[in-house]
Amino acid sequence: MPLPEHSPHLGAAPGPSPAGPPGPAVDRPVVVYLAGFGRSGSTLVERMLGAAPGWTNVGELVDLARAVARADELCGCGARFSRCPVWTSVGELAFGGWSDEVLDRLVGLHRAAARQRHLPRMLARGVPSDQLTNLRTAYDRIYCAVAEVTGAYVVVDASKGPALGQALAGSPDLDVRVLNVVRDPRAVAWSWNREVTRPHATGGEARMWRIAAPRAAAQWSALQLEVQAIAGIGGPRAARIRYEDFVADPVRTLVSATTDLGVPLSADDLPAVHGGALRLGPSHGLSGNPSRFRSGEIPLRRDDSWTREMPLGSRRVVTALTLPLLAAYGYPATQRRPRPTTPRPAERDRTRGPR
């Protein structure tokens, strides 16, 4: 399962691809691919890793061609994609610019080679199709361009989808390590039930879609089983962290995870945590959770509101659909609702003060 130990010098420049002129002449970076289901805390994990020396985060790169560039959405730095100097330079180095032809090509390659239905064939290690080979070449060029523009030797991609992760990890020309970020599925399902605004949308107010609890639970389980299948076939070097452990002690959690991935960071490499908050500056990550666009002091919290507010029926359905993995990841199958904190009548009388 483990890949060769990390070295910042991993090969020659990528060759030409159908999407544009030859790519940038830089050494190939290590890619830490965050895999899992949405609303599991991957954005905060990605940003903290991207703040380490020699590391950079790109957000959900899978959305660059199919959403971000098309709608000219905001980069994590606050600029529109078309005006962000980093992404402009990356596009020029990789493909000669983010033309419609390049974007169409990237979207088409993803649909043809890296959707969930393609995962069984990739796990069976069949002969790569031309589309899969071209997809790998295109991503190789993007990662190398990001490394050259930012000076990084590790690129953190929070695209999350196991199929895309396996498509890239199976390339002989890419050094991909997979970090599975997992969170209690009941917290995940409750988060997907909420209405969340996308601050990076530029065409008026836009909201993230919502998913019903049963569907969220089923998708959570399916994606986690896929991630485990990738690791089980002797795939890329991999590690797993629980979001709950991360918010309790983010530095210790990421030091352990990066060591397991073969790209070790020390506590001094990571942003310090003070008073239960993390200080982060802007990054050039794309898409994803609204927390991508917050800088400065960012509170670290588990957000266990589901234990108080999630309907009992929904909780039972999610628990039933995810029960085997709940146990495997150390989550309790039952969780008591917290008792109401409203004081009893006699206690209320004592807090009213003089009459």
pLDDT tens, residue by residue, 96-120? 999 999 999 999 999 999 888 888 8
Q: Report DSSP state, residue 79.
A: S
Residue 303 and residue 280: Cα distance in Å, rounded?
20
Residue 180 has pLDDT above 50, yes or no: yes
Residue 264: CB atoms within 10 A of its CB come to 13
**Within-domain flag for 25:** no
* Number of structural domains found in the chain: 1
Percentages (nearest 5) of helix, strand, coil residues in the chain: 45, 15, 40
**Within-domain flag for 100:** yes
Contact predicate 244/302, CB 8 Å:
yes
**Within-domain flag for 233:** yes
**Within-domain flag for 9:** no
**Within-domain flag for 331:** no
What's the mean pLDDT in 149-169?
95
**Within-domain flag for 265:** yes
Contact predicate 179/80, CB 8 Å:
no
Per residue in 246-282, pLDDT tens? 999 999 999 999 999 999 999 999 998 988 899 999 9
Domain that holds residue 288: 30-302
Mean pLDDT for the chain? 84
Residue 177 has pLDDT above 90, yes or no: yes
**Within-domain flag for 308:** no
- Of 236, 221, 241, the C-alpha closest to 319 is 221
Per residue in 238-247, pLDDT tens? 999 999 999 9
Predicted local confidence at residue 22, as pLDDT: 47
- Of 64, 84, 75, the C-alpha closest to 202 is 75
CATH number for the domain spanning 45: value is 3.40.50
- Residue 341 tokens, joined: 């904190």
Contact predicate 130/7, CB 8 Å:
no
Give the confidence band of 196 by pLDDT, cuts at 50, 70, 90: low
What's the mean pLDDT in 189-216?
71
Give the confidence band of 39 by pLDDT, cuts at 50, 70, 90: confident
Residue 322 and residue 315: Cα distance in Å, rounded?
11
Q: Which helix (H) or strand (E) holds 179?
A: strand 175-182
First to last CA, the chain: 72
**Within-domain flag for 316:** no
